[in-house]
Structure 1
């Protein structure tokens, strides 16, 4: 996975997430929308690319002084925690 910040302000972020698809991006978007201070989060396929794998562009808008990079970091930790919890439950079920 490669990340590339396209645009960033104090309250908005656009970032390319190379090598990912809808599966990961939907989980990340959901975690962002559950993050306090996130007003909006979405992603779209990069319209400038043609053919082959297209890379999604994540867009985040925050409020209340939350830096959008901090919001992505917090949402990423939440995804990591959910994955660890699932793995632990799976191992216990075996």
Structure 2
């Protein structure tokens, strides 16, 4: 993955995520819109095989980079939890 910040203000962020698909972007978007500090979160992908997705975040004034980092940490925690639960089930 290659990440390129296209635009950043105090409450908005536009990020290109090269090499990523709907899988990661949908997960990020779904978690971002559940965050009370986020006023808008969506992504645009012109065509999955020829363009890279661009993620847009607008917050209530909270630093959007901080919000995105915290969202990524939530995803990591959820994956860690899944690994633990799955490992226990697989070894049962």
- TM-score, structure 1 as length reference: 0.88
What does residue range 1-94 of structure 1 map to in structure 2 within 5 Å? 1-45=1-45, 47=46, 52-63=49-60, 65-94=61-90
In the aligned structure 2, how far is the partner of 1:34 from the partner of 1:87?
Answer: 24
Q: Deviations over 1:31-67 (max 9, x none)?
A: 111223111100001x4xx89442100000000x310
Contact 1:41 1:60 in 2 (8 A): yes
For structure 2, list consecutive stretches of 5 or more residues without a partner in the other structure: none
- Let me know the Cα RMSD of the aligned residues: 1.6
**Alignment gaps of 5+ in structure 1:** none
How many corresponding residue pairs? 90
Question: Structure 2 vs 1, CA of residues 22 and 52 (structure 1 numbering), >3 Å: closer, same or farther?
Answer: closer
4+ residue segments displaced more than 6 Å: none
